[in-house]
Structure 1
Amino acid sequence: MKVALYCRLSEEDKDKINPSDVSESIQNQRALLEGYALANNWQIYDVYSDDDWSGLDADRPDWNRLLKDAEAGKFDTIICKSQSRFTRDMEAVEKYIHKKFIEWGIRFIGLVDNADTSNKGNKKQRQIIGLTNEWYCEDVSDNVKAAFDVKRKSGKFIGSFAAFGYIKDPNDNNKLIVDEEAAKIVRQIYDWYLEGFGIQRITHELNKRQIPNPTIYKKRSGSNYKKTVDNNSLWNRTTVKRILQNPLYAGHMAQGKIKKVSYKSKKFVTIPKDEWIVVKNTHEPIVKESVFLEVQRRFKLRQRSTCEGQAHIFATKVKCLDCRSTMEKGTTSKDKGKYSFLRCKLYLKTPKENKMCTSHYIRLDTLEEVVTNKIKEYINNYLDEDNAVNILKIESEANNKVKSLEKEFDKTDMYLEEQTQLLKSLYIDKVKGIISEEMFVSLNSEFNKRKEFCEQKKKNIEKQIEEISNKANDIGEWTKTVKKYRDFDKLTHTMVNELIDFIEIGEKNKITGEQVVKIHWLF
């Protein structure tokens, strides 16, 4: 009789192998099967072996070669160490072991679980084995998912490969550290977007500069990245958009974005953004939180670029003073030349005969001149001597307040420790019979109330310290930003982003020609 031997080992099996196993290793499986065939004087046609493949996977290369040769009638019998080595999928058990193999005249033998299709009374046992194997896979899948969710919720990275801009920490595979070379590209993408570049323009710039896309970069960096790629290192709009919307770059771990349809399927489905598992401040950010939030704000408002691929410097920041609608850009070409202007969006969208607002028309170059003058005035006022003294006073008061709160925190903590020690003494007195059980219960109840009050007080103090410290830091950062632009010549997109929250435009007075331009600063 001519036989085929099939061996399989999955990554999970490898974790279980130890020197005492009558082992699952490919070598030991093969030795067992060869010994069995030779003991029965059967001729071995070929040995088929799949290393690092799941028993549920129908894409196993040697498994498919085995099936092809079986259908061609190249052997009479298939021998495996167990039925689970052949497959853990109940559908495959029924399709091949109980149907196709019978049609092809193939006998199937699983040595250690006594699966044998030559024994008709053995079929129910084989089906029970098949169900048990599949249930095992389902249980393993559920356990793995649960373990992964625990890691995700604790902010640990569980992906095979870090996102572009990061690498896994060599000392901790669940932690990300910045890959500075790639991080520079990420920062440039964010900077371009805040300068008004559209996604298509950013994609074009990256490709024009021949910057390798994330997939090619991983390959060239020596990562064992298995995704099929060609030599095309071009970026695309989807990749750029994902980078701009991923909270990972602001230092927040965002995982659970996709999931498998089932443990038996390779198909993945996308999870809604509000169901992602996001853990704040888990690793070093590549871009500032304020930068990331500004980019998301613009996405939400659908920042649009011009035909040159760049939005105007006030994009998404200019609103109608009366209806609060975003002002939309228009361009005209007249005798005096081509120029751009802004008009109320609500005015543009409503019918001519039933306008819900007025145009609030303002030329862009006029707005730029007004805002430039207002910024210069603001900077001069902010940095004058009186204000500088006031800022120092605020910072000093903040430091004193923090020190006072820290003392109060330590005092509360000490009181709590004293009360804890007192309760321990009371417990000993109760055990010795010095005080009654009723008295101890009463005192313990009072202690728990005081403890709860003190714990809440400590939390409140910590919150106050954090708020005061953040405010002081904000003042310091804002002062640096303002000083940076003290002697600026030309208004830029970056300046607008760093200094201005939004601008409101009033309707121009037809008699006086006056028009309100109200700037809301970020600080």
Structure 2
Amino acid sequence: MKNKGQYVKRIYAQDKNFDFNAMFYRYIEEKGWDIYELYIDVQTGTTAKRESLQRMIEDAEEKKFDVILAKELSRLARNGELSYKIKNLCENKGIHIITLDNAINTLTGNTNMFVLYAWMYEQESQHTSNRVKETLRTRAKKGLFKGSIPPYGYYLKDGKLYIRNDHTPNVVRRIYNEYLNGCGRDSIAKRLFNEGVPTPAEVAGKKNAGDKWNESTIKFILTNPHYVGDLVLGRETTVSVTNKKRKKVSRKDQIIHRNTHEAIISREVFNTVQEQLQLRSSKFPAPEKHLFTNILYCADCGKGMWYRKNRKGYICGNYARHGKKACSSHIVKEEFLKETILTDIKKLEAEINKEEYVKQLEAKNKKSKSWFSKKMNWKLLWKVNRSSKTSIN
């Protein structure tokens, strides 16, 4: 690489006492290179949480720079899958990777240890994850709530749960009462949304929190044992450090402390709701699929259209789930869709047949012209030959 080659530097402020800037700038100055952009991620973890890493990958795909510089490979990725993804991307785009610990330098062909370092950093991340989980379990065994966000209706203080002094505890009670009175989870969610009740995500102040209540949110509240005053921790865990999908933990491995905080729902009500959840779920058949399921989308809001047997057509899924506040109640009849599509297919078939017919006519015409031309040439030749014989006689 000559001077003025575009260059990318990545900085991670994980050690505030270490001046990464001086190290990178000194290296760049020695090489005589230019900096294209600094990609800085203070937060580590999954790719989705690291916006700068995502942006760097997108820029690499467009070949906006020539080299990626990192303090070490773990600053780029701490799992093998992501490491190989970046490595393959750089190889395909002709981009080099250099780490300042001299482990990786594709400019000099030093790539033999890439797989080993990727594996080592993934193992390190897994060990760190295990230590964090064990710390949280130790905290849970002491009867302290381990999460940073308390259940809806509670607030957290010194690791203990306390009932909030606002509308949220009454919303929890309302959800339980309406469900016991025969209301479905979807209908409860729809009413809360149309009444403008803030969602748990909004109350918690989460970034990009939605204003729509969903069936899954209602179910989570209806099955959360914290509302009877019990502290139940470790109900779910991640599959691994590289797979953030969550799996349920068996009840014998969960940490349960009874009566650790004030209850919002009585045990009797909670247990009755669990029975109802079991009973209702076993009665509902699998949703019936129709011809245009997962194909139609609402022209107004862009959400999928849902089939309704009683209306013999498709309505906006956003309206079906959240009501008129989310979208309008328009419907598209299934028979109308079938007729429209069949009509279009017949028109297309007619146009195709018409084009074929024209092509066949042109081919026949061309063949006729060729035959007529040959016949005229044969007659002309016959006349010439006859004329020659007559003149000789």
TM bucket by the smaller chain?
A: 0.5 to 0.7
Contact 2:72 2:100 in 1 (8 A): yes
Alignment partner, residue 115 of structure 2 = 127
Contact 2:43 2:49 in 1 (8 A): no
Contact 1:176 1:283 in 2 (8 A): yes
Alignment partner, residue 211 of structure 1 = 197
Alignment partner, residue 304 of structure 2 = none
Q: Is there any run of 5+ residues in structure 1 with no aligned partner, and where?
A: 305-523
Alignment partner, residue 356 of structure 2 = none
How far, CA to CA, are the matches of 1:197 and 1:5 in structure 2? 60
Residue 158 (structure 1) aligned to one of 146, 150, 156 = 146
Residue 35 (structure 2) aligned to one of 37, 40, 44 = 44
How far, CA to CA, are the matches of 1:251 and 1:113 in structure 2? 55
Contact 1:183 1:286 in 2 (8 A): yes
Residues 126-167 of structure 1, C-alpha deviations (whole Å, 9 max, x = no match): 433222211111111121222222223333212231111111
- Is residue 105 of structure 1 aligned with residue 94 of structure 2? yes
How far, CA to CA, are the matches of 2:60 and 2:137 in structure 1? 42
Contact 1:4 1:47 in 2 (8 A): no
Equivalent runs, 1:134-149 vs 2, <5 Å: 134-149=122-137
How far, CA to CA, are the matches of 1:300 and 1:65 in structure 2? 45
Contact 1:3 1:78 in 2 (8 A): no
Q: Aligned partner of 2:173: which letter? A: R
Alignment partner, residue 32 of structure 1 = 23
Task: Name the CA shift for 1:262/1:8 in 2 (closer, same or farther; >3 Å).
Answer: farther
What is the CA-CA distance between 1:282 and the residue it aligns to? 1.6
Alignment partner, residue 80 of structure 2 = 90
Contact 2:145 2:231 in 1 (8 A): yes
SS of structure 2 residue aligned to 1:51 = coil
Residues 228-273 of structure 1, C-alpha deviations (whole Å, 9 max, x = no match): 42xx44x444433332332111100123232222210222234456
SS of structure 1 residue aligned to 2:227 = helix
SS of structure 2 residue aligned to 1:123 = coil
- Is residue 117 of structure 1 aligned with residue 103 of structure 2? no
Alignment partner, residue 280 of structure 1 = 258
Equivalent runs, 1:40-439 vs 2, <5 Å: 40-54=31-45, 57=47, 60-97=50-87, 99-120=88-109, 122-169=110-157, 172=158, 174-181=159-166, 182-193=168-179, 196-199=181-184, 202-203=188-189, 206=192, 209-216=195-202, 218=203, 223-226=204-207, 228-229=209-210, 232-233=211-212, 235-271=213-249, 276-299=254-277
SS of structure 1 residue aligned to 2:47 = coil
Contact 1:8 1:86 in 2 (8 A): no
SS of structure 1 residue aligned to 2:10 = strand
Q: Aligned partner of 1:158: which letter? A: K
In the comparison of the two structures, how many residue pairs are matched?
Answer: 277
What is the CA-CA distance between 1:281 and the residue it aligns to? 1.4
Say what the alpha-carbon RMSD is for the aligned residues. Answer: 3.1
What is the CA-CA distance between 1:103 and the residue it aligns to? 3.8
TM-score (structure 1 length as normaliser): 0.47
What is the CA-CA distance between 1:204 and the residue it aligns to? 5.9
How far, CA to CA, are the matches of 1:179 and 1:145 in structure 2? 28
How far, CA to CA, are the matches of 1:81 and 1:65 in structure 2? 19
Task: Name the CA shift for 1:37/1:180 in 2 (closer, same or farther; >3 Å).
Answer: same
Q: Aligned partner of 1:265: which letter? A: N
Report sequence identity in percent: 29
Q: Aligned partner of 1:190: which letter? A: Y
Q: Aligned partner of 1:183: which letter? A: P
Task: Name the CA shift for 1:290/1:118 in 2 (closer, same or farther; >3 Å).
Answer: same
Residues 271-292 of structure 1, C-alpha deviations (whole Å, 9 max, x = no match): 4566543221121211233443
Contact 2:11 2:38 in 1 (8 A): no
TM-score (structure 2 length as normaliser): 0.61
Contact 2:47 2:53 in 1 (8 A): no
Contact 1:7 1:30 in 2 (8 A): no
Residues 351-389 of structure 1, C-alpha deviations (whole Å, 9 max, x = no match): xxxxxxxxxxxxxxxxxxxxxxxxxxxxxxxxxxxxxxx
Q: Aligned partner of 2:75: which letter? A: R
Q: Aligned partner of 2:39: which letter? A: Y
Task: Name the CA shift for 1:34/1:296 in 2 (closer, same or farther; >3 Å).
Answer: same
Residues 435-473 of structure 1, C-alpha deviations (whole Å, 9 max, x = no match): xxxxxxxxxxxxxxxxxxxxxxxxxxxxxxxxxxxxxxx
Task: Name the CA shift for 1:192/1:128 in 2 (closer, same or farther; >3 Å).
Answer: closer
Q: Aligned partner of 1:157: which letter? A: F
Q: Aligned partner of 1:186: which letter? A: V
SS of structure 1 residue aligned to 2:232 = strand
Q: Aligned partner of 1:140: which letter? A: T
How far, CA to CA, are the matches of 1:42 and 1:208 in structure 2? 58
SS of structure 2 residue aligned to 1:30 = helix
Q: Aligned partner of 2:172: which letter? A: V
Task: Name the CA shift for 1:156/1:124 in 2 (closer, same or farther; >3 Å).
Answer: same
SS of structure 2 residue aligned to 1:124 = coil
Contact 1:9 1:51 in 2 (8 A): yes
Contact 1:6 1:86 in 2 (8 A): no
